[in-house]
Structure 1
Amino acid sequence: MSMDKLFSKVLIANRGEIALRVLSCLQKMNIASVVVFHDSDRNSPVVRQADEAVEITGESPSAAYLDIAQIVDICQSFGVDAVHPCYGFLAENAEFARALEAAGVCFIGPSPEVIELMGDKIRSREFVVEHGFPVAPSVVMDADEPGFLDAVSHMGLPLVVKASAGGGGKGMSIVRSLDELSSTLKVAASEAEKYFGDKRVYVERYFDSARHIEVQILGDGKRVIHLGERECSVQRRFQKIIEESPSPALDEAYRESLCEVAVGIAQAANYSSAGTVEFLYTPEGEFFFLEMNTRIQVEHAVTEMVTGIDLVAEQIRIASGQGLGVSQDKISLHGHSIECRICAEDTYDNFLPETGKVLYLQEPSGKGVRFDSGLYQNQLVTTAYDPMLAKLVVHASSREKAIEKAIKALQEFVLLGVKVNTDFLVQVLSHDAFVSGEFDTNFITKYAEYLTAREATPDERVALLSAVVLADRAIKTMMEKTPAPYGAIGCWRN
């Protein structure tokens, strides 16, 4: 196809809410869609709504979505021009990008070389240092042990051990004593080889009171722009839970400085597509490069809410050869946006993943409320996939109003049949430290007792669920239309 026009057919190599999000964008751009699905997702909204859906198989559901050869074969059989990998699975897999290229199919993302460079935490840090940008003090475990341990001891405590090929919080451990460093390194290297096929690890200075801030960038291989930053400090076990834009920690001077560094790093890599440059921001006002994600992020929606830019559409335009559709001087942030990740987990039992069937679903709505979800009635929630089920994103004129809107929307959301973390999210949003903006990556650990305060008693839960059911408009309508004497017991009669 000519690279001066949009694709005619795009395959979505993913599932759940992000697959549905990409499908929605393709439909708006009048691009035909193909979605691959495992049998466990047969009845999902994205499978029902896509122009074409093709079943994929594997030893497990995840294995099916990771089968490069199978997906490439489908692309060729269905005349696909390009593949959008979304996030997770094959989104940052250079082998997948190369396989598509060899088959004459465009990968909607950066080049395989950039994916490899930035996906390797050690190489990417060296690259950033070479171009004069700041990284946190660190030592790679590739020297003789005495010299290595001596170099580490000079960095001070605490430390964090990271896998070079890790990501998403996986392959990371905090070390608060040099006595535990040697054993932690051995375990980390073993786990890194097991999960990522790469046993290389490095040790980095860990900042207890730092914040995690990332910058959204867009590049077309010629120029790079930024779309502001996102605050991602509310984390549990290195996994983000709540994100917002703009960050309450930055003034305009720091914001501009941070964003300029992010653009500089991406520009040095000749970056093309949407990406995120992540930083550690210390109480002293220093910031250090952490990593670069070469894909669309889970939390991209908050940036879309404050800028009005459709990041997925920009990805598609850039990949089709049209280049950036917006210039830096046209980008401005309006209001405040907050995203909450809704997960199937038991807050009161160490956040263990939950399973079950979606018996009833009521999604929040209203002005400034966006609910990205692939949930549907009678869906089976299993441990085969990540526990995140949906994302609630709100936008308001101020941070205070955005917090209020998010809390209200979370309280409107109802999912019966599977435990989710909405009560926990409300507790986080309501906490004085969060409301004031004075928090860091240790927020959840520091206030764990308050945030996981015991849930309502069984009697209270029954009362609350009864109130929800009776307040539901659809159920009330059914009650009103049901003739006596059955109307007294609503739609639950035999």
Structure 2
Amino acid sequence: MHRLLIANRGEVASRVARAARSRGIGTVGLYSDPDFALPYLDDVDEAVALPGISATDTYLNVSAVLAAAQRTGCDAVHPGYGFLAESAQFAEQVAAAGLVFVGPPAECIAAMGSKVRAKELARKASVPVLPDAVVDDTATDLGELGGRVGYPLLVKASAGGGGRGIRLVESADDLPAAVAAAQREAQAYFGDDTVFLERFLAGPRHIEIQVFGDTHGNVVHLGDRECSVQRRHQKLLEECPAVSVDAALRSAMAAAAVRLAEDIGYVGAGTCEFLVQGDEFFFLEMNTRLQVEHTVTEQVTSIDIVGLQLDVARGAQLPFTQTEITFTGHAIQARVCAENPYTGWLPSTGAIQRYWHPDDDGVRYEDGIASGVTISPFYDSMITKVIAPGETRDHAITTLDGALARLVLHGPDTNVAVLRRILSDADYRHGDVTVNWLEQRADLLAAEPLSAHAAAAVVACALSTDTPLLPLPAAWSNTPRPAVQWTLLDDHGTEHQLDYQPPRNGEAFRLFRVDGTEFAVRCLAHGDDRWRVEVDGISRVLRVSAEGLLGHDPGVRVWVNDIHGQVGFTVMPRFVERNIDSIVGGPTSPMPGTVQSVHVETGQRVSAGDRLVVVEAMKMEHVIRASSDAVVSRVLVHVGESVPAGTVLVELDDQE
């Protein structure tokens, strides 16, 4: 192996490139039109353009990917994770082109790619599975199948993943509609409408086992990981080892995972995922690829999993036996995603004004972004991974929380504040979480009071006499006049009233109020993006960025960082000149994205709650519904169209 094509993007492309470089292997990357400026392209020797925007036209375009490999003289392909990583067809085509596929054999990918087939193989390997039943052409009596599995149950897509094609069914009356909906979604996303029924566990934990095999018949496990903190079936925090797992359960799960991998002749890195309830565990699926959370296993085992992938793909034997693998300490990974937790975890896009983290704090950062780049709506919302090691779990939690507090990420909305609230929560610290725990903890998304230091930083920016980030209000002067009033809108949608009178001759503000509470405020010093602000005799160093124009819609977006973390809010305009487009009546897209489907046509009558348009962004589907009975006067978008946030999708006339 001399030259490796990395068939992926973002932080995983950088991760694979580092491992290849350490083994003297040259690297070639790929980039779509929106990705041309992303930092992973600095980590490869050269990169090939894939003209286009959508994943289908670029990173999922097998012929274009293979052509890039041939054009640049590559002799191997690493798929990373996502995109083509679990495509048996792609693995076959890589081999047919005379290239080494850094992953398991195509037959292993195919076997585990079907959840129905995977469960059959798990049963054969004596791995516990939940009761299930396949819905096929002969299964005319859904009621009988549902009764056999037992309620509540899940309808699941056999070829699914990432939460796609899953429906929870509480009773037999709801089963036919749920099956039909899951089949439609499965066909649309995976090209396979096969679904099955599976017993639903009310409060399980999600624990997985990392396995590794070589071409000489050796298979080992590299321990377990806890992945129970999830939203929308997507993981947010992962840690190694798993929490509150006794030795017997840990040993049984590891043995089951190794047994299954041995039975199917597995090669390379793979992960067996289990649902755990009490002292029982049940096979969920096997991911036949590198996992996003492989990092925490690397921290605890000191094994370079990606490097080992490359070695095994070149025919090497595993360099250790099971008894030689050791586990030291604890590690936790946080997935930093461009999304707004306070609006249903809607994806967020736009330019990164500033991105910074320490390079010497003992924390591992795997970045997919940099200052000045733009986050597009076309791919995954994860933009950075932060991995904290610790001698103990408590130590790792504290280290991770401190790293997230120092992280400067000014631009689109992120989940950082919620990640920190989870880390500080008593349930999480005690390991008392399940896969649906976060859905039940709305309090973790509650609004917090606006910091007076943050509000003071906004004023400091406005009063800077050299390069103000915020222009001063019209007719400002330093002569006595009524207090300046601004309205600040935080990320929770809460308005805060800020009142102040500008200081003179370096004095403190004669009046400074936030929501009616008065503070003694002085701006002591500033330089570049750093400000030193004193509030009631306590000064802090703050990092501040701003974007937008004061007095113009939608206002100025401001980000402030201090020792307690980052806060973002908007300085609202006093008077807004409404754009004529806002007069058009009809539902709008809540996020930038791609129109996945249109369900109405001109002249059609719709009722409140009817589905109108489905918009997809960052692997998330958002259904736009009618808010009242109406008639469709115009459909303004078509399937496949990219739409900015706020785009009117359908014009509706009220029914009389």
Tell me the TM-score normalised to structure 1 length.
0.91
Q: 1:234 aligns with which of 208, 211, 229?
A: 229
- 3-state SS of paired residue (2:243): coil
Structure with more strand by fraction: 2
- 3-state SS of paired residue (1:297): coil
Q: State the Cα deviation string for residues 48-84 of structure 1 (Å, max 9, x = none).
A: 2311111112352552011111111121121111011
Q: 1:288 aligns with which of 258, 282, 285?
A: 282
Q: 1:274 aligns with which of 263, 269, 272?
A: 269
- AA aligned to 1:315 is Q
Aligned to 2:329: 335
Aligned to 1:383: 377
Q: CA deviation at 1:161?
A: 1.2
Aligned to 1:247: 242
Q: Report if aligned partners of 2:149, 2:197 keep a CA contact under 8 Å in 1.
A: no
Aligned to 2:28: 34
- Between the aligned residues of both structures, percent identity stands at 41
2:314 aligned with 1:320: yes
Structure-2 change in CA distance of 1:246 and 1:146 (3 Å): same
Q: How far, CA to CA, are the matches of 1:376 and 1:55 in structure 2?
A: 20
Q: How many residues align?
A: 468
Q: How far, CA to CA, are the matches of 1:414 and 1:37 in structure 2?
A: 26
- 3-state SS of paired residue (2:377): coil
- AA aligned to 1:226 is H
- AA aligned to 2:447 is R
Q: 1:441 aligns with which of 435, 440, 445?
A: 435
1:198-217 alignment, distance < 5 Å: 198-217=192-211
- AA aligned to 2:213 is G
- AA aligned to 1:228 is G
What is the RMSD computed on CA atoms of the aligned residues?
2.1
Q: State the Cα deviation string for residues 400-455 of structure 1 (Å, max 9, x = none).
A: 111111111111111011111000001111111110011111210121x2110114
Structure-2 change in CA distance of 1:456 and 1:12 (3 Å): farther
Structure-2 change in CA distance of 1:146 and 1:158 (3 Å): same
Aligned to 2:45: 51
1:400-439 alignment, distance < 5 Å: 400-439=394-433
State the structure with bigger RCO (CA 8 A, min sep 6), 1 or 2.
Answer: 1
Aligned to 2:528: 491
Structure-2 change in CA distance of 1:242 and 1:465 (3 Å): farther
- 3-state SS of paired residue (2:290): coil
- AA aligned to 1:133 is V
- 3-state SS of paired residue (1:33): strand
Deviates more, 1:319-328 or 1:455-464: 455-464
Unaligned runs of 5+ in 1: 1-6, 469-484
- 3-state SS of paired residue (2:155): strand
Aligned to 1:480: none
- 3-state SS of paired residue (2:432): coil
Q: 2:444 aligns with which of 445, 451, 454?
A: 451
Q: CA deviation at 1:376?
A: 1.0
Q: Report if aligned partners of 2:165, 2:182 keep a CA contact under 8 Å in 1.
A: yes
Q: State the Cα deviation string for residues 19-68 of structure 1 (Å, max 9, x = none).
A: 01111111111111111111222122221231111111235255201111
2:340 aligned with 1:346: yes
Q: CA deviation at 1:459?
A: 5.7
- 3-state SS of paired residue (2:403): helix
Q: 2:58 aligns with which of 64, 68, 76?
A: 64
- 3-state SS of paired residue (1:361): strand
Aligned to 1:80: 74
Q: State the Cα deviation string for residues 335-392 of structure 1 (Å, max 9, x = none).
A: 1111111000111111111111111111244454111112111110121111110111
Q: 2:183 aligns with which of 173, 177, 189?
A: 189
Q: Which has the larger radius of gyration?
A: 2
Q: How far, CA to CA, are the matches of 1:82 and 1:462 in structure 2?
A: 54
- AA aligned to 2:276 is Y
- AA aligned to 1:170 is R
Q: Report if aligned partners of 1:364, 1:410 keep a CA contact under 8 Å in 2.
A: no
Q: Report if aligned partners of 2:33, 2:53 keep a CA contact under 8 Å in 1.
A: no
Q: How far, CA to CA, are the matches of 1:400 and 1:275 in structure 2?
A: 28
